[in-house]
Structure 1
Amino acid sequence: MAKKASLVFIPAPAVGHIVSAIELAKVLIARDHRLSLTVLIIKIPNSPSFDALIEALITSVTAIRFIYLPQLQFPTPDRAQSTEGLISVFIDDHKPFIKDTITQLFLATESESEPTRSRLAGLVVDFFCTSMIDVANELGVPSYLFFTSSVCFLSFMLHLPNLDTQTHNDFKDLETELVIPGFINPVPPHVLPLAVSSKKQDGYTWYLYHSRRFSETKGIIVNTFAELEPYAASFLSGNDGIPPVYPVGPLLDLQGQMHSVMDQTKFESIKRWLDNQPPSSVVWLCFGSFGSFGVPQVQEIARGLERSGHRFLWSLRQPSVGLSNPTDYVNHEEVLPEGFLDRTAERGLVCGWVPQVEVLAHPAIGGFVSHCGWNSTLESIWFGVPVAAWPLYAEQHLNAFEMVKELEGLVVELRLDYRGGDDLVTAEEVERAVRSLMDSDCKMRMRIKEMQEKSRKTLIDGGSSFNSLVCLIKDILDES
């Protein structure tokens, strides 16, 4: 019997990244039985909710091997000052354990009782895990980057070392827009990730470090599809200085497995409320696992929703402390305008965290006010739900800029330059965006339905992502 070719996945310790990695692993083994997949799980210190979510997720997947790495502590402040630096150094600290684990699994001397031990074909590393390229080099195997965001953002990251050389000022101080290969339009500095706004920041140093390492990989796997980002995908595919790029998405957790530990009784009450609403009549507001607002912004959103006159479902969460996830507000009446819940009782529902896929799939949902995280963007397209863009952090501002400007109005612009703090999005802005989003004659609805059809066709035999996956597997098996 021929040995299988094994890939080891090293995702960043964030639920969305792990989910995407698992979905990629699932499509790989479904496409070719010669592949064997192992996912190494980096644990977050003192995070029982993260542990519970990951445990629930991986117990539902039987064809993939999962291995938990030893629990390490986060770096001290003298080693990392930013969130990006903290995560990067924390992951880098795992290098000896990852090398030892892989060596024991694949490279130790085979015994006669294990004649079919898999051959290691390579490592698949996340955005923040590029230091693991060193491990791949030490083990004598190739590395592949799994990029869980857009091709446009990938274009920016690949160009960042050039921008660093060409631009002497901080990006936040630039008065001119940037010309970035892969973008049709000049890019305003205010839509770049906040971490790269100043060269003095620890976050900038780490973004630059990771971007420089992307080109060391044998290939870059992207959770997108060519029809969604045709200009950027075409640019990267024809550039000799860039590793082969494989758009294989959308890779989505359509079964909602990551939410299997939530209070299903609680969601059932929300589902019953949605069941009683007319088709495409409800605007849903949800801002991802790290999205939250303080009281002043909450009150502006509430006033805007009330003035819009539209039905709404609002997933409302309060800011977190440190790196912990936001939590649900205990008492909505304490943070919402006086009488708001009574005045909107017939057409609105305010709740805490709810499973996103289940909500987007519901026929009552007609619009989505979103932070434009990439998973959320792909999910909204998959279910054909129009989006109003309100990016909050990370690369979300660049995602929103792409959807609004690069892709000809695929998304309604709510606010692209929001940075939080005292910079409040006003009730008028919320009202205007919701009215535009829920306009039944909106051309954007036709655009999103067309893209929905393309997102589903791309994954079937002959589709662009299907073909890209075939090319990726051929590359992996040739190397093994």
Structure 2
Amino acid sequence: MVRAELVFVPSPGLGHLVSTVEMAKLLVDRDPRVSITLLIMKPPHESHSSIDDRTQSLANSMAGRFQFVHLPDIDPILETNPSKIRDLCIESYKPHVKEAIGRLTESVSGPDSPRLAGLVVDMFCTTMIDVANELRVPSYVFFTSSAAFLGLMLHLQSLRDEHGIDSTEYGDSDAQLDFPNFTNPLPAKVLPTAYLVKEAAPAYIGHARRFRETKGILVNTFVELETHVFKSLADAMIQPVYPVGPILSLARSAGGTGPSDGLEIMKWLDDQPQSSVVFLCFGSRGSFDADAVREFATALEGCGHLFLWSLRQPPPKGKVTPPRDYANFEETLPEGFLGRTIKRGKVIGWAPQVDILAHPAIGGFVSHCGWNSTLESIWFGVPIAGLPLYAEQQFNAFEMVAELDLAVEIKMEYRRNVRMKSETRVTAEEIERGIRRVMEPDSKQRKKVKEMSEKSRKALDEGGSSCSSLHRLIDDIFNNMPC
């Protein structure tokens, strides 16, 4: 039996790592001929312990045909521009990746050993395509965001290379753009932050160019969610695009860390009526300044709904580090807020998001619209009120609100700490209005999300759209495998 070894190269950081592991697990579970090696790069501003603890827990749940390889440390990244730190980090790891693959192929050189079938690189690790080319093996991209964002990256790259159109010119524009993957005009104000910042845009254009060199692109989505996008991509793409999602890490948390405890949170939710609580959470890097926190507090007092609010402390100015839990919420919340809302709300730090979204008491989700969080909300049938912060989240929010009618808007063009001419703000009135809308019990968005939840689960079942796409991918991997 011919066996195939795939090497996955995820982008540094837990957000991309977790979905990459889940993608690799799908492949291993689907075909006994496939083995996976996943190469781990340490993010520049995260500790070894946070990565090691998570990868160890993931490794413990894996089959024998899966292994993690932690790459050696690189020299410190001295760059302070956030848009360049990740790319410099990944580029510095290139020789370590080549060396690790060399050791891997030497160690599995027997007649019954798996053959190196290719590299699967993260959407931001396209420089590793060079390693695949040197080794004369195929490369594939694992795209951890939506098919629509893939279409946007390719579209903006084509506009830049073929027509000389620079997306950074839209940084302060009210223009409505013609985007072939959507049925609605795309407001320039919801373009991903990187495309509006001159220091970052060239790298994203470069990634899209390199996508076109690969044998295929795996996308964390499903056809039923982005039907129109896939129809338009089919006309524009040369190589295959495989919708293999929703790829989610649905393992439940046993407890919490810091001042917030997961068991305490779940016990509080157990005491609340079904679909009565609005959950506010903004991802692993989501935080707000003191002015925005006051607006949220005012909105939560005014709306009258039960709430569970994950409130994190921003990093110090000038530091590129994840938010932390507050030692004392009273130092940032309005005076008396906790006392006035004690009977109908709970403020927490770290949040076990999957556990919370799965709880029947949750009726709405105020979210940054990161793609993982968006897919989780769909999976559990919880409608979103979108308040994007950075990256492609504004674009995700527009797709969910305007294109698919699966979410409501708080403020789609809101941006946190963006290096542009001005920073938009969000008001208590906007937040309260969004909360009231997302908590409406009979809204069309709530009905549509419940329907899409069922479709997301069927997509992964045997015979479902994503399951069938995964089978096609495996067939193509074996067909493209070097002799």
**What is the TM-score of this pair, normalised by structure 2?**
0.93
| TM-superposed deviation, 1:461 | 1.3
SS at match of 2:261: helix
| In structure 2, C-alpha distance between the alignment counterparts of 1:37 and 1:20, rounded to whole Å | 14
1:387 corresponds to: 384
Q: Is the 8 A contact 2:388 2:412 kept in 1?
A: yes
Q: Does 1:244 pair with 2:245?
A: no
| In structure 1, C-alpha distance between the alignment counterparts of 2:54 and 2:22, rounded to whole Å | 16
Q: Does 1:282 pair with 2:280?
A: no
Residue type matched to 1:432 in 2?
R
SS at match of 2:171: helix
Q: Does 1:291 pair with 2:286?
A: yes
Q: Is the 8 A contact 2:387 2:409 kept in 1?
A: yes
Identical columns (%): 52
Q: Does 1:153 pair with 2:153?
A: no
Q: Does 1:65 pair with 2:60?
A: no
After TM superposition, list the pairs within 5 Å mapping 1:318-357 onto structure 2: 318-321=313-316, 322-357=319-354
Residue type matched to 2:165 in 1?
T
SS at match of 1:170: helix
SS at match of 1:121: strand
1:106 corresponds to: 105
2:50 corresponds to: 49
Residue type matched to 2:465 in 1?
S
| TM-superposed deviation, 1:107 | 5.3
1:479 corresponds to: 480
1:461 corresponds to: 462
| In structure 1, C-alpha distance between the alignment counterparts of 2:207 and 2:325, rounded to whole Å | 34
| TM-superposed deviation, 1:49 | 2.9
User: Number of residues paired by the alignment?
Assistant: 468
| TM-superposed deviation, 1:57 | 3.0
SS at match of 1:283: strand
Residue type matched to 2:176 in 1?
E
| In structure 2, C-alpha distance between the alignment counterparts of 1:177 and 1:131, rounded to whole Å | 33
| In structure 2, C-alpha distance between the alignment counterparts of 1:386 and 1:436, rounded to whole Å | 10
| TM-superposed deviation, 1:51 | 3.5
Q: Which runs of 5+ in 1 are unaligned?
A: none
| In structure 1, C-alpha distance between the alignment counterparts of 2:257 and 2:39, rounded to whole Å | 24
| TM-superposed deviation, 1:109 | 8.7
Residue type matched to 2:367 in 1?
S
2:368 corresponds to: 371
Q: Is the 8 A contact 1:44 1:71 kept in 2?
A: no
| TM-superposed deviation, 1:469 | 0.5
Q: Is the 8 A contact 1:56 1:261 kept in 2?
A: no
Deviations 1:159-192 (A, max 9, x none): 1222223425612144422212212112111111
Deviations 1:382-417 (A, max 9, x none): 00001000000111110000001111x210111001
SS at match of 2:62: coil
| In structure 1, C-alpha distance between the alignment counterparts of 2:19 and 2:52, rounded to whole Å | 17
Q: Does 1:172 pair with 2:174?
A: no
Which of residues 226, 229, 250 is equivalent to 1:232? Answer: 229
Q: Does 1:212 pair with 2:224?
A: no
| In structure 2, C-alpha distance between the alignment counterparts of 1:281 and 1:115, rounded to whole Å | 60
Range with greater deviation from structure 2 (340-349 or 177-186): 177-186
**What is the TM-score of this pair, normalised by structure 1?**
0.94
| TM-superposed deviation, 1:54 | 3.1
| In structure 1, C-alpha distance between the alignment counterparts of 2:100 and 2:334, rounded to whole Å | 54
Q: Is the 8 A contact 1:225 1:455 kept in 2?
A: yes
Q: Is the 8 A contact 2:256 2:263 kept in 1?
A: no
Residue type matched to 1:49 in 2?
S
| In structure 1, C-alpha distance between the alignment counterparts of 2:261 and 2:205, rounded to whole Å | 43
2:301 corresponds to: 306
1:439 corresponds to: 440
Which of residues 74, 77, 81 is equivalent to 1:75? Answer: 77
Q: Would the alpha carbon gap of residues 237 and 256 (structure 1) be closer, same or farther in structure 2, given more than 3 Å must change?
A: farther
Deviations 1:255-301 (A, max 9, x none): 147x8774698111111110000000000000000000111100100
| TM-superposed deviation, 1:424 | 2.5
Q: Which runs of 5+ in 2 are unaligned?
A: 418-422
Residue type matched to 2:332 in 1?
V
SS at match of 1:391: coil
Residue type matched to 1:416 in 2?
M
Q: Would the alpha carbon gap of residues 97 and 369 (structure 1) be closer, same or farther in structure 2, given more than 3 Å must change?
A: same
